[in-house]
Structure 1
Amino acid sequence: MSVRLIVRTLSEICITIGAVIVLFVAYVLFWTGVTAEGATDGEIVRLQEEWARQPVATSPGPEQTGPGAPPAPPPDPAPRTAKPYASGRPFAVMYVPRFGTGWAWPVLEGTGAATLRKGLGHYAGSARLGATGNFSVAGHRRTHGDPFKDFPRLRPGDAVVLNDGTRWFTYRIRNKPYRTVPGDVGVVAPVPVKSGFDGPGRYLTLTTCDPEWGSSHRLVVWAHLDATQPVTRGEPEAFHS
């Protein structure tokens, strides 16, 4: 085999490998975001259609607000006999004002790869939305729409607002993002470890990957339920505070 043929063959191999790398990077940086946008929009539309078919309670219902440590919570808005969340299906929409006015993501049951391509994932077995315990949610930091790209910007007092079609739930974040390892399951315990909460309550945990383009660690924030109100009363004040 001539030297010229060897050089040409190696060059062609390098060009092919380079093209594959470029295509992969384009897929990760661009195409997963495009597909995620379509998927998340579809899940929110599905939720809105389901909500439009169900009656909405008109009772003003209890509401409570309060800064700092969690106060005595309002009566539990999550019925004990409520239908379990269906795996892989959406049941609420989350809003984080800190991330901008256009930030809205569906919350689906489960944290499998297929589920997290369509939105945020509720840890199966953790508390229901608004119920006593720890309502725990995971989301991608990067790829698939980058839902938690700005996670490090979260600060104590920030609101996390959720809508399940009948009520608004406003949680208030307690801590700056805490960095830990993936095996630290205590962060999603009913009373989350290292959260500063010292007894049962109605808590929220958000988790995402760290570093930004890796997954060796996790970033975590904890929050407590600060207020609830029926959707018939309009958007909660947390959107404007």
Structure 2
Amino acid sequence: MSVRIVVRTFSELCVTAGALIILFVVYLLFWTGVKAAGATEGQIDALENQWARGTVTAPATGTPGDQAPAPAPAPEAYRDGKPFAMLYIPRFGKGWEWPVLENTEVKTLQKGLGHYRGTARAGATGNFAVAGHRRTYGDPFKDFPELRPGDAVLVTDGTTWFTYRIDRKPYRTVPSDTGVIDPVPRKSGFDGPGRYLTLTTCDPEWGSSHRLIAWAHLDATQPVTDGRPAALRG
């Protein structure tokens, strides 16, 4: 085989490899975002339809002399793989909003953010822990390192707005460090039971060898009938 044939064959292989790399990058940067946009819109529509079928009311308050109100029924369990809340982070932009689905499986995180099974419900005592992609599938947590103490993270389940406040800059750890989503998350600085939020994403930006963690505490609640919280009206 002549040197010319060898060089030509090698060149063709390089061109083919380059084309495949370009196609893969386009898939990561563009196509997964297109898929995520459609999937996310579908989850938001499902949530809005679900909330529209229900009756959204503020919590009962009662008046002096009334009989004690009947105990509220236990809330329904979050349905696996289904959306149950919307999450907003003003730090990431005015239009930043993502549905939260139950579980953190790969197919779930392609549709929105994922709630860690077994962690607290939104607004409840314990740790409401949520994961999201840093890159690909809409890049929901692309700007995660920009989170700062005092930033608002808002969650609504269709009846109540929960406003959490970030307590410290994002913390970097390894995937095996599951204590970050404990009811009182380790290394968070929280020293006892409370109503906490944990956000997690991959690090570095295009890798997954580590995790970035942001912790927050519940700062305020209000019924949806009172309108959007001040943090979303600025």
Normalising by structure 2, what TM-score?
A: 0.92
Matched, 1:121 2:117: no
- Structure 1 residues 88 and 30 mapped into 2: Cα distance closer, same or farther (>3 Å)? same
Counterpart residue identity of residue 21, structure 1: I
Map 1:61-140 to 2 at 5 A: 81-140=74-133
- Structure 1 residues 104 and 17 mapped into 2: Cα distance closer, same or farther (>3 Å)? same
Q: Partners of 1:116 and 1:23 in 2: how far apart?
A: 23
Q: Partners of 2:2 and 2:73 in 1: how far apart?
A: 78
**Greater relative CO, 1 or 2 (CA 8 Å, sep 6+):** 1
Secondary structure of residue in 2 paired with 1:183: coil
Aligned pair count reads 224
Q: Partners of 2:140 and 2:164 in 1: how far apart?
A: 18
Normalising by structure 1, what TM-score?
A: 0.89
Give how far 1:4 is off.
2.9
Matched, 1:235 2:228: yes
- Structure 1 residues 80 and 133 mapped into 2: Cα distance closer, same or farther (>3 Å)? farther
Map 1:1-241 to 2 at 5 A: 1-59=1-59, 81-240=74-233
Give how far 1:80 is off.
7.3
Q: Partners of 1:124 and 1:84 in 2: how far apart?
A: 11
Unaligned 5+ runs, structure 2: 62-71
Q: Deviations over 1:127-156 (max 9, x none)?
A: 111111000000111111110011111111
Give how far 1:13 is off.
1.5
Counterpart residue identity of residue 107, structure 2: A
Q: Is the 8 A contact 2:58 2:159 kept in 1?
A: no
Q: Partners of 2:48 and 2:169 in 1: how far apart?
A: 33
Give how far 1:225 is off.
0.8
Q: Partners of 1:40 and 1:165 in 2: how far apart?
A: 17
Sequence identity percentage = 69
Q: Partners of 1:203 and 1:2 in 2: how far apart?
A: 69
Give how far 1:25 is off.
0.6
Q: After the TM superposition, which of the residue ranges 79-88 and 112-121 deviates more from structure 2?
A: 79-88
Q: Is the 8 A contact 1:40 1:106 kept in 2?
A: yes
Q: Partners of 1:106 and 1:6 in 2: how far apart?
A: 54
Counterpart residue identity of residue 156, structure 2: N
Shift >4 Å, 4+ stretches: none
Give how far 1:59 is off.
4.2
